[in-house]
Structure 1
């Protein structure tokens, strides 16, 4: 059973086809895993563990190759949350920039900040430095509500 909408599947199939690839059952399982775990910022190994239950024949190398392919196609992006791991998240078509993250220094929990709060600052930077900003990344480090309550 697929978690991808028919429109998303068709769009991905078309994009893959244009690039000379097929949406194989393994690639579909990996995409479903990324979608199912949205907001979890999984590593390739964590994604492999998640997908393996639905697709036992899949190999870790296939997960790595598919992640690389999806990244090249701008379906997902690599995140660096300063924990020494490469993590991945979906790119939403309506996002102009990466969304921002709150990272708990105690438990490592990562929360996504909804909405881009830097539009005004970005305009100031562009004007002051005559620099066209194409993207930005912002991370806040602190203590989450659960850790504060302890």
Structure 2
């Protein structure tokens, strides 16, 4: 990331501290205020936009609004970073997996469609929810 302000570093640090969570801009502004770094909501949004463009943050748009999550991967030329969302519990997991590169290449070469993996969200069931569902299915079929 070429140039960053104190405010941008504070927003990034806050996201990094809560890397497993999805946060709204309002959540971040509140955390920063509590930590003695009062930053206006408009400034938080501006910094989040810059951080997203730099590949340091994932932006997830939902019916409830936009959420942000820290990304530890460098966006420059890095196409293997994406998100997994559990349809049952709603958790979102950030994942780096080179196996999807084959799919990206296929779609681009054969279908002339270029995926933006940093904005790609795969929906399914997390391991915990899938296990619970399997237990429930097993219990009803006895």
TM-score bin (small chain)? 0.5 to 0.7
Task: Map 1:1-150 to 2 at 5 A.
Answer: 12=1, 15-16=2-3, 23-24=5-6, 26-80=7-61, 82-91=62-71, 92-93=73-74, 96-97=78-79, 99-129=81-111, 131=112, 133=114, 135-136=116-117, 137-142=120-125, 144-145=127-128, 148=132
Q: 1:119 to 1:86 in 2, by over 3 A?
A: same
Per-residue CA shift, 1:63-116, capped at 9, x if unaligned? Answer: 122222333444334223x34321223442177226333322232122233413
Tell me the secondary structure at the aligned position of residue 98 of structure 2: coil
Aligned length: 129
CA drift at 1:144: 4.8
Q: 1:73 to 1:142 in 2, by over 3 A?
A: closer
Query: What is the TM-score normalised by the length of structure 2?
Result: 0.68
d(CA) in 2 for partners of 1:120, 1:55: 46
Q: Which runs of 5+ in 1 are unaligned?
A: 1-11, 17-21
Query: What is the TM-score normalised by the length of structure 1?
Result: 0.65
Instruction: Output the aligned Cα RMSD.
Output: 3.0
Tell me the secondary structure at the aligned position of residue 63 of structure 1: helix
